[in-house]
Amino acid sequence: MRRFVAALGGALLLAGCGCEHGVISDGYPIDVDMSGGPVMASIREGDGATRAAVIDLLAPLTVLDTDADAPPSRRCADLTLLDTGGVPRAHLACTATVLHACPGTTCQVGSVTPVAVEAVIGGDAFAPGAVRFDFVAGQLSIFPDIAGDGPARGRLCEAQISDPFRGGGTLFLGGSEVSFPARRITVGACLSYDPEEDAELTSDGGADAQLVLSTGIGPTLLSESAYERWRAASGTGEPVAALPTGSVWMPSGEVTGRAATIDRVALVGGYDDRRGPCRQVYAHRLLSIRDCDGDDDCPCADGRICRVPSIVELAPADPIAVLVIPDDDPMLQALRTELRPRTAEVDGILGTGALAATSIDVDPPNNRVLVRCEAAGCRVRPELITDDLRPLIADCLARAAP
Protein backbone atom coordinates (compact mmCIF):
# COMPACT_ATOMS: atom_id res chain seq x y z
CA MET A 1 0.00 0.00 0.00
CA ARG A 2 2.80 2.43 0.76
CA ARG A 3 4.16 2.23 -2.79
CA PHE A 4 0.66 2.73 -4.18
CA VAL A 5 0.09 5.85 -2.10
CA ALA A 6 3.38 7.53 -2.97
CA ALA A 7 3.63 6.46 -6.59
CA LEU A 8 0.46 8.34 -7.35
CA GLY A 9 1.61 11.36 -5.39
CA GLY A 10 -0.41 10.29 -2.35
CA ALA A 11 -3.67 8.78 -3.49
CA LEU A 12 -5.69 9.98 -0.50
CA LEU A 13 -7.83 13.01 0.02
CA LEU A 14 -8.24 13.38 3.73
CA ALA A 15 -11.80 14.23 4.46
CA GLY A 16 -13.55 15.06 7.69
CA CYS A 17 -10.75 17.02 9.35
CA GLY A 18 -12.79 20.21 9.59
CA CYS A 19 -10.24 22.19 7.61
CA GLU A 20 -11.26 25.31 5.73
CA HIS A 21 -9.74 24.75 2.31
CA GLY A 22 -8.95 27.86 0.32
CA VAL A 23 -6.40 29.84 -1.65
CA ILE A 24 -5.27 33.45 -1.30
CA SER A 25 -3.10 34.74 -4.13
CA ASP A 26 -1.84 38.18 -5.17
CA GLY A 27 -3.39 37.57 -8.60
CA TYR A 28 -0.17 37.70 -10.62
CA PRO A 29 1.73 34.83 -12.29
CA ILE A 30 4.12 33.04 -9.96
CA ASP A 31 7.54 32.00 -11.26
CA VAL A 32 8.19 28.30 -10.59
CA ASP A 33 10.91 25.96 -11.79
CA MET A 34 9.84 23.79 -14.72
CA SER A 35 13.29 23.43 -16.25
CA GLY A 36 13.82 19.81 -15.22
CA GLY A 37 10.36 18.52 -16.14
CA PRO A 38 8.53 18.40 -12.79
CA VAL A 39 6.92 21.63 -11.62
CA MET A 40 9.04 22.62 -8.62
CA ALA A 41 8.36 25.25 -5.99
CA SER A 42 9.17 26.12 -2.38
CA ILE A 43 6.65 26.12 0.45
CA ARG A 44 6.55 26.97 4.13
CA GLU A 45 4.12 25.54 6.66
CA GLY A 46 3.27 28.33 9.08
CA ASP A 47 6.53 29.82 10.35
CA GLY A 48 8.45 26.64 9.64
CA ALA A 49 11.43 25.99 7.40
CA THR A 50 11.24 26.25 3.63
CA ARG A 51 10.58 22.93 1.91
CA ALA A 52 11.29 21.93 -1.69
CA ALA A 53 8.04 20.70 -3.21
CA VAL A 54 6.82 19.19 -6.45
CA ILE A 55 3.41 20.38 -7.69
CA ASP A 56 1.74 17.35 -9.24
CA LEU A 57 -1.81 17.39 -10.59
CA LEU A 58 -1.77 13.60 -10.63
CA ALA A 59 -1.85 13.76 -6.83
CA PRO A 60 -5.37 14.31 -5.49
CA LEU A 61 -3.96 15.51 -2.15
CA THR A 62 -0.98 17.15 -0.54
CA VAL A 63 1.72 15.07 1.18
CA LEU A 64 4.39 16.34 3.59
CA ASP A 65 7.43 14.13 4.06
CA THR A 66 8.46 13.12 7.58
CA ASP A 67 10.86 10.72 9.31
CA ALA A 68 10.75 7.11 8.19
CA ASP A 69 9.85 5.88 11.68
CA ALA A 70 7.08 8.42 12.27
CA PRO A 71 3.49 7.10 12.04
CA PRO A 72 1.25 8.51 9.30
CA SER A 73 -0.91 11.43 10.37
CA ARG A 74 -3.23 14.09 9.01
CA ARG A 75 -3.42 17.75 9.85
CA CYS A 76 -4.77 21.06 8.64
CA ALA A 77 -1.88 22.78 6.91
CA ASP A 78 -1.40 26.47 6.20
CA LEU A 79 1.14 26.56 3.38
CA THR A 80 2.84 29.58 1.85
CA LEU A 81 3.87 29.18 -1.79
CA LEU A 82 7.11 31.01 -2.66
CA ASP A 83 8.32 32.06 -6.10
CA THR A 84 11.78 31.17 -7.43
CA GLY A 85 13.19 34.26 -5.69
CA GLY A 86 11.86 33.14 -2.31
CA VAL A 87 9.10 35.77 -2.20
CA PRO A 88 5.76 34.64 -0.66
CA ARG A 89 3.10 34.72 -3.39
CA ALA A 90 0.13 32.59 -2.31
CA HIS A 91 -1.43 31.04 0.77
CA LEU A 92 -2.79 27.49 0.47
CA ALA A 93 -5.00 26.06 3.20
CA CYS A 94 -5.55 22.32 2.87
CA THR A 95 -5.52 19.00 4.68
CA ALA A 96 -2.07 17.41 4.49
CA THR A 97 -1.00 13.80 4.83
CA VAL A 98 2.21 13.52 6.82
CA LEU A 99 4.22 10.35 6.15
CA HIS A 100 7.45 9.05 4.68
CA ALA A 101 6.64 6.73 1.79
CA CYS A 102 9.89 6.95 -0.16
CA PRO A 103 12.22 3.94 -0.45
CA GLY A 104 15.27 5.89 0.80
CA THR A 105 15.92 8.58 3.35
CA THR A 106 14.88 11.31 0.90
CA CYS A 107 12.19 11.64 -1.78
CA GLN A 108 13.26 12.79 -5.21
CA VAL A 109 11.75 13.53 -8.61
CA GLY A 110 13.12 14.00 -12.12
CA SER A 111 14.83 11.94 -14.76
CA VAL A 112 18.34 12.95 -15.83
CA THR A 113 19.31 14.59 -12.52
CA PRO A 114 16.70 13.88 -9.82
CA VAL A 115 16.20 16.52 -7.14
CA ALA A 116 15.18 16.01 -3.52
CA VAL A 117 11.69 17.07 -2.43
CA GLU A 118 10.04 17.26 0.97
CA ALA A 119 6.45 17.71 -0.15
CA VAL A 120 4.00 16.87 -2.94
CA ILE A 121 1.44 19.61 -3.56
CA GLY A 122 -1.64 17.95 -4.99
CA GLY A 123 -4.70 19.29 -6.73
CA ASP A 124 -6.55 19.68 -3.43
CA ALA A 125 -4.22 22.52 -2.40
CA PHE A 126 -5.71 24.75 -5.12
CA ALA A 127 -9.36 23.84 -4.40
CA PRO A 128 -11.92 25.17 -4.83
CA GLY A 129 -10.41 27.41 -7.52
CA ALA A 130 -8.55 26.98 -10.80
CA VAL A 131 -4.83 26.93 -11.60
CA ARG A 132 -2.91 27.73 -14.78
CA PHE A 133 0.45 26.21 -15.76
CA ASP A 134 2.36 28.08 -18.46
CA PHE A 135 5.09 25.66 -19.52
CA VAL A 136 6.75 28.19 -21.84
CA ALA A 137 6.98 31.06 -19.34
CA GLY A 138 7.60 28.76 -16.35
CA GLN A 139 4.75 30.31 -14.40
CA LEU A 140 1.77 29.27 -12.31
CA SER A 141 -1.36 31.41 -11.83
CA ILE A 142 -4.27 30.92 -9.44
CA PHE A 143 -7.87 32.00 -10.16
CA PRO A 144 -11.30 31.54 -8.55
CA ASP A 145 -12.33 29.89 -11.84
CA ILE A 146 -11.97 30.49 -15.59
CA ALA A 147 -14.63 32.63 -17.23
CA GLY A 148 -16.32 31.85 -20.53
CA ASP A 149 -18.07 28.75 -21.86
CA GLY A 150 -16.61 26.34 -24.41
CA PRO A 151 -17.56 28.31 -27.53
CA ALA A 152 -16.20 31.52 -25.98
CA ARG A 153 -12.87 29.84 -25.19
CA GLY A 154 -12.85 28.40 -28.71
CA ARG A 155 -13.02 31.90 -30.13
CA LEU A 156 -9.73 32.50 -28.31
CA CYS A 157 -8.26 29.44 -30.08
CA GLU A 158 -8.32 27.36 -26.92
CA ALA A 159 -9.24 23.70 -26.62
CA GLN A 160 -11.65 22.57 -23.94
CA ILE A 161 -11.28 19.09 -22.47
CA SER A 162 -14.67 18.49 -20.88
CA ASP A 163 -15.40 16.32 -17.84
CA PRO A 164 -11.76 15.22 -17.37
CA PHE A 165 -11.77 14.46 -13.61
CA ARG A 166 -12.10 10.77 -12.85
CA GLY A 167 -11.31 8.25 -10.15
CA GLY A 168 -11.74 8.66 -6.40
CA GLY A 169 -12.37 6.07 -3.73
CA THR A 170 -11.29 5.07 -0.24
CA LEU A 171 -8.32 3.37 1.35
CA PHE A 172 -6.87 2.82 4.79
CA LEU A 173 -4.24 5.00 6.44
CA GLY A 174 -3.06 4.42 10.00
CA GLY A 175 -6.11 2.29 10.75
CA SER A 176 -8.60 4.85 9.43
CA GLU A 177 -10.69 4.70 6.25
CA VAL A 178 -9.97 7.75 4.14
CA SER A 179 -11.93 8.93 1.11
CA PHE A 180 -10.57 10.89 -1.83
CA PRO A 181 -12.56 12.49 -4.68
CA ALA A 182 -12.18 12.23 -8.44
CA ARG A 183 -9.16 14.39 -9.29
CA ARG A 184 -7.27 12.37 -11.93
CA ILE A 185 -7.16 14.35 -15.18
CA THR A 186 -7.86 11.89 -17.99
CA VAL A 187 -7.56 12.64 -21.68
CA GLY A 188 -7.94 10.63 -24.86
CA ALA A 189 -4.94 10.82 -27.19
CA CYS A 190 -4.07 9.85 -30.73
CA LEU A 191 -0.41 8.88 -31.10
CA SER A 192 1.11 9.61 -34.51
CA TYR A 193 -2.10 11.11 -35.86
CA ASP A 194 -2.35 11.62 -39.62
CA PRO A 195 -0.67 14.99 -40.30
CA GLU A 196 -2.19 15.50 -43.73
CA GLU A 197 -4.20 18.69 -44.21
CA ASP A 198 -6.19 17.67 -47.23
CA ALA A 199 -9.83 17.77 -48.28
CA GLU A 200 -9.34 14.31 -49.80
CA LEU A 201 -8.48 12.74 -46.42
CA THR A 202 -10.23 9.38 -46.54
CA SER A 203 -9.66 7.53 -43.24
CA ASP A 204 -8.44 7.84 -39.69
CA GLY A 205 -4.89 6.94 -38.73
CA GLY A 206 -2.78 6.76 -35.60
CA ALA A 207 -2.92 4.78 -32.36
CA ASP A 208 -5.55 5.39 -29.68
CA ALA A 209 -4.40 5.85 -26.09
CA GLN A 210 -5.89 6.88 -22.75
CA LEU A 211 -3.61 9.02 -20.59
CA VAL A 212 -3.70 10.71 -17.20
CA LEU A 213 -1.93 14.03 -16.77
CA SER A 214 0.92 14.69 -14.35
CA THR A 215 2.87 17.88 -13.69
CA GLY A 216 5.31 15.90 -11.57
CA ILE A 217 7.26 14.19 -14.37
CA GLY A 218 8.87 15.37 -17.61
CA PRO A 219 8.79 12.34 -19.94
CA THR A 220 5.52 10.68 -20.85
CA LEU A 221 5.09 7.12 -19.57
CA LEU A 222 3.65 4.68 -22.11
CA SER A 223 2.78 1.03 -21.69
CA GLU A 224 4.60 -1.39 -23.96
CA SER A 225 1.39 -2.23 -25.82
CA ALA A 226 0.64 1.47 -26.46
CA TYR A 227 4.18 2.00 -27.70
CA GLU A 228 3.86 -0.95 -30.08
CA ARG A 229 0.57 0.49 -31.39
CA TRP A 230 2.43 3.75 -32.03
CA ARG A 231 5.17 1.85 -33.90
CA ALA A 232 2.57 0.18 -36.09
CA ALA A 233 0.83 3.50 -36.81
CA SER A 234 3.99 5.52 -37.46
CA GLY A 235 6.03 2.86 -39.23
CA THR A 236 9.08 3.94 -37.20
CA GLY A 237 10.76 3.22 -33.89
CA GLU A 238 12.72 0.34 -32.45
CA PRO A 239 11.12 -2.71 -30.83
CA VAL A 240 10.88 -2.44 -27.04
CA ALA A 241 13.63 -5.01 -26.50
CA ALA A 242 16.05 -2.96 -28.62
CA LEU A 243 15.51 0.31 -26.72
CA PRO A 244 18.04 1.51 -24.14
CA THR A 245 17.06 1.34 -20.50
CA GLY A 246 15.85 4.50 -18.80
CA SER A 247 14.16 5.68 -15.64
CA VAL A 248 12.27 8.52 -14.00
CA TRP A 249 12.04 9.29 -10.30
CA MET A 250 8.71 9.80 -8.61
CA PRO A 251 8.34 10.39 -4.85
CA SER A 252 7.78 6.64 -4.41
CA GLY A 253 11.06 5.77 -6.05
CA GLU A 254 12.57 5.00 -9.41
CA VAL A 255 10.34 3.84 -12.27
CA THR A 256 12.41 1.90 -14.79
CA GLY A 257 11.66 1.13 -18.40
CA ARG A 258 12.95 1.72 -21.90
CA ALA A 259 13.78 5.19 -23.21
CA ALA A 260 12.22 6.16 -26.54
CA THR A 261 10.66 9.06 -28.42
CA ILE A 262 7.44 9.47 -30.38
CA ASP A 263 6.82 11.94 -33.19
CA ARG A 264 3.49 13.54 -32.30
CA VAL A 265 0.35 13.24 -30.22
CA ALA A 266 -3.11 14.82 -30.47
CA LEU A 267 -5.18 15.39 -27.32
CA VAL A 268 -8.94 15.09 -27.75
CA GLY A 269 -11.36 17.33 -25.90
CA GLY A 270 -14.19 14.87 -25.36
CA TYR A 271 -15.04 11.22 -24.97
CA ASP A 272 -17.34 9.43 -27.40
CA ASP A 273 -18.27 5.75 -27.25
CA ARG A 274 -18.70 5.66 -31.02
CA ARG A 275 -15.47 7.44 -31.95
CA GLY A 276 -12.09 6.81 -30.35
CA PRO A 277 -9.46 9.58 -30.17
CA CYS A 278 -7.96 8.98 -33.62
CA ARG A 279 -11.44 8.82 -35.15
CA GLN A 280 -12.19 12.17 -33.49
CA VAL A 281 -9.03 13.69 -34.98
CA TYR A 282 -9.99 12.39 -38.42
CA ALA A 283 -13.52 13.72 -38.01
CA HIS A 284 -12.28 17.18 -37.11
CA ARG A 285 -9.76 17.31 -39.98
CA LEU A 286 -12.42 16.28 -42.49
CA LEU A 287 -15.45 18.19 -41.24
CA SER A 288 -13.59 21.43 -40.56
CA ILE A 289 -12.99 21.55 -44.34
CA ARG A 290 -16.23 20.18 -45.79
CA ASP A 291 -19.24 17.95 -45.27
CA CYS A 292 -18.98 14.23 -45.86
CA ASP A 293 -19.71 13.04 -49.37
CA GLY A 294 -20.56 9.63 -50.73
CA ASP A 295 -16.94 8.54 -51.08
CA ASP A 296 -15.96 9.35 -47.49
CA ASP A 297 -15.63 7.08 -44.52
CA CYS A 298 -18.04 9.45 -42.80
CA PRO A 299 -17.54 9.72 -39.01
CA CYS A 300 -21.08 11.01 -38.49
CA ALA A 301 -23.74 8.52 -37.48
CA ASP A 302 -26.52 10.54 -39.09
CA GLY A 303 -25.99 13.22 -41.68
CA ARG A 304 -23.08 14.81 -43.50
CA ILE A 305 -21.76 16.87 -40.59
CA CYS A 306 -21.73 16.30 -36.83
CA ARG A 307 -20.31 17.81 -33.67
CA VAL A 308 -16.61 17.12 -32.95
CA PRO A 309 -14.71 18.11 -29.78
CA SER A 310 -11.67 20.36 -29.78
CA ILE A 311 -8.26 18.90 -30.65
CA VAL A 312 -4.74 19.86 -29.56
CA GLU A 313 -2.05 18.76 -32.03
CA LEU A 314 1.42 18.48 -30.51
CA ALA A 315 4.19 17.94 -33.05
CA PRO A 316 7.38 19.52 -31.67
CA ALA A 317 10.58 19.85 -33.68
CA ASP A 318 12.30 17.63 -31.12
CA PRO A 319 10.51 14.30 -30.61
CA ILE A 320 8.52 13.73 -27.43
CA ALA A 321 10.49 11.77 -24.82
CA VAL A 322 8.72 8.70 -23.45
CA LEU A 323 9.57 5.97 -20.98
CA VAL A 324 8.12 2.63 -22.07
CA ILE A 325 7.03 0.57 -19.08
CA PRO A 326 5.49 -2.93 -18.78
CA ASP A 327 1.72 -3.21 -19.10
CA ASP A 328 1.57 -4.81 -15.66
CA ASP A 329 3.45 -1.97 -13.95
CA PRO A 330 1.88 -1.57 -10.45
CA MET A 331 1.30 2.15 -10.97
CA LEU A 332 -0.67 1.61 -14.18
CA GLN A 333 -2.59 -1.25 -12.61
CA ALA A 334 -3.56 0.91 -9.62
CA LEU A 335 -4.75 3.72 -11.91
CA ARG A 336 -6.76 1.30 -14.04
CA THR A 337 -8.41 -0.17 -10.96
CA GLU A 338 -9.34 3.27 -9.67
CA LEU A 339 -10.67 4.60 -12.98
CA ARG A 340 -12.75 1.58 -14.03
CA PRO A 341 -15.38 1.32 -15.42
CA ARG A 342 -16.00 4.93 -16.39
CA THR A 343 -12.65 5.40 -18.15
CA ALA A 344 -10.98 3.26 -20.79
CA GLU A 345 -7.90 1.31 -19.70
CA VAL A 346 -5.07 3.72 -18.92
CA ASP A 347 -2.11 3.44 -21.30
CA GLY A 348 0.23 5.88 -19.58
CA ILE A 349 0.90 9.22 -17.93
CA LEU A 350 1.19 12.43 -19.93
CA GLY A 351 4.25 14.36 -18.72
CA THR A 352 5.15 18.03 -19.01
CA GLY A 353 7.60 17.45 -21.87
CA ALA A 354 4.75 16.73 -24.28
CA LEU A 355 3.05 19.96 -23.13
CA ALA A 356 6.15 22.13 -23.43
CA ALA A 357 4.58 24.42 -26.08
CA THR A 358 1.33 24.95 -24.18
CA SER A 359 -0.30 26.47 -21.17
CA ILE A 360 -3.17 24.68 -19.44
CA ASP A 361 -5.96 25.81 -17.14
CA VAL A 362 -7.22 23.21 -14.67
CA ASP A 363 -10.72 24.45 -13.86
CA PRO A 364 -12.60 22.12 -11.47
CA PRO A 365 -15.39 24.67 -10.81
CA ASN A 366 -16.37 24.30 -14.49
CA ASN A 367 -15.35 20.63 -14.76
CA ARG A 368 -12.84 21.14 -17.55
CA VAL A 369 -9.24 21.66 -18.60
CA LEU A 370 -8.35 24.33 -21.17
CA VAL A 371 -5.30 24.12 -23.42
CA ARG A 372 -3.76 26.91 -25.50
CA CYS A 373 -0.65 27.07 -27.65
CA GLU A 374 2.22 29.28 -26.51
CA ALA A 375 5.02 28.21 -28.90
CA ALA A 376 5.76 26.38 -32.13
CA GLY A 377 4.87 22.71 -32.45
CA CYS A 378 1.33 23.17 -31.16
CA ARG A 379 -2.00 23.77 -32.94
CA VAL A 380 -5.49 24.02 -31.47
CA ARG A 381 -8.62 23.08 -33.37
CA PRO A 382 -11.60 24.56 -31.46
CA GLU A 383 -14.74 22.48 -31.09
CA LEU A 384 -16.67 22.06 -34.33
CA ILE A 385 -20.40 22.47 -33.65
CA THR A 386 -21.72 23.75 -36.99
CA ASP A 387 -20.17 24.57 -40.35
CA ASP A 388 -20.30 28.27 -39.37
CA LEU A 389 -17.20 27.62 -37.23
CA ARG A 390 -15.01 26.52 -40.13
CA PRO A 391 -13.56 30.04 -40.67
CA LEU A 392 -12.66 30.26 -36.96
CA ILE A 393 -10.90 26.91 -37.07
CA ALA A 394 -9.00 27.89 -40.21
CA ASP A 395 -7.97 31.15 -38.55
CA CYS A 396 -6.69 29.34 -35.42
CA LEU A 397 -4.67 26.95 -37.56
CA ALA A 398 -3.25 29.85 -39.63
CA ARG A 399 -2.19 31.66 -36.47
CA ALA A 400 -0.29 28.65 -35.12
CA ALA A 401 3.48 29.07 -35.28
CA PRO A 402 5.07 26.81 -37.92
All structural domains of the chain, each given as residue ranges with its CATH number in brackets, are: 2-143 (2.40.70), 184-364+375-399 (2.40.70.10)
pLDDT band at residue 152 using 50, 70 and 90 as cut-offs: very high
Q: How far is CA 390 from the centre of its chain?
A: 28
Report the percentage of the chain scoring pLDDT > 70. 91
Q: Which residues contact 201 (CB under 8 A, 6 or more apart)?
A: 194, 282, 285, 286
Please, are residues 350 and 138 in contact by the beta-carbon 8 Å criterion? no
Cα 154 from Cα 18, distance rounded (Å): 39
**3-state SS class at 250:** strand
| CA torsion angle 94 215 342 7 (round to 10) | -80
Question: What average pLDDT does the chain have?
Answer: 89
Cα 224 from Cα 209, distance rounded (Å): 12
Note if the bond before 382 is cis, omega within 30 degrees. Answer: no
Select from 142, 235, 252, 250 the least CA-distant residue to 194.
235
Q: Which residues contact 365 (CB under 8 A, 6 or more apart)?
A: 128, 129, 130, 144, 145
Q: Provide the pLDDT for residue 1.
A: 31
Q: What is the pTM of this model?
A: 0.92
DSSP 170-229: EEEETTEEEEE---EEEEEEEET------TT--S--SEEEEEEE-SS-SSEEEEHHHHHH
pLDDT digits (tens, 9 = 90+) for 74-115: 889 999 999 999 999 999 998 888 888 788 788 899 988 899
Select from 13, 38, 26, 1 the least CA-distant residue to 250.
38
pLDDT digits (tens, 9 = 90+) for 20-48: 778 999 889 999 999 999 999 999 999 99
| CA torsion angle 220 223 225 226 (round to 10) | -30
- Amino acid 3 reads R
pLDDT digits (tens, 9 = 90+) for 269-296: 986 667 899 999 999 999 999 999 888 8
